[in-house]
Amino acid sequence: MKTKVLITGADGFIGSHLTEYLVEKNFHVKALSQYNSFNNWGWLEDVNCKNNIEIVSGDIRDLNFCRNITKDIEIVFHLAALIAIPFSYISPQSYLDTNIKGTLNICQASKDNKVSRVIHTSTSEVYGTAKYVPIDEKHPLQPQSPYSATKIAADSIAMSFYNAFDTDITIARPFNTFGPRQSARAVIPSIIVQAAAGVDQILLGDTSPTRDFNYVDDTCRGFLKIAESNKTSGKTLNIGSGKEISIEETFNEIKKIMNAKIKIKKDKTRLRPKKSEVYRLLADYSELKNITNYEPKISFTDGLKKTIEWILKPENLNKYKAEIYNV
Residue 223 near residue 172, CB atoms below 8 Å: yes
Task: Report pLDDT for 326.
Answer: 67
Asked if 13 and 54 sit in the same domain, the reply is: yes
Asked if 59 and 92 sit in the same domain, the reply is: yes
Task: Report pLDDT for 324.
Answer: 79
Asked if 258 and 144 sit in the same domain, the reply is: no
Asked if 105 and 231 sit in the same domain, the reply is: yes
* Cα distance between residue 91 and residue 97, in whole Å: 11
Strand partners, 178: 215
83-102 per-residue burial string, b: 16 or more CB within 10 A, e: under 16: bbbbbbbeebeebbbbbbbb
Residue 212 near residue 176, CB atoms below 8 Å: yes
pLDDT beneath 70: ranges in the chain: 326-327
Q: What is the DSSP letter of 126?
A: G
The CATH code of the domain that includes 309 is 3.90.25.10
Domain membership flag for residue 251: yes
Q: Does the predicted model carry a pTM greater than 0.85?
A: yes
Task: Report pLDDT for 148.
Answer: 98
Domain membership flag for residue 219: yes
> Looking at the 3D structure of the chain, how many domains does it have?
2
Task: Report pLDDT for 232.
Answer: 98
Asked if 40 and 58 sit in the same domain, the reply is: yes
Domain membership flag for residue 323: no
Asked if 98 and 227 sit in the same domain, the reply is: yes
Using the 3D structure, point to which of 223, 239, 255 is the last residue of a domain: 239
Asked if 115 and 189 sit in the same domain, the reply is: no
Task: Report pLDDT for 325.
Answer: 74
Asked if 147 and 202 sit in the same domain, the reply is: no
Task: Report pLDDT for 327.
Answer: 54
> Residue 275: which domain range?
179-211+243-317
Asked if 119 and 79 sit in the same domain, the reply is: yes
* Cα distance between residue 103 and residue 125, in whole Å: 17
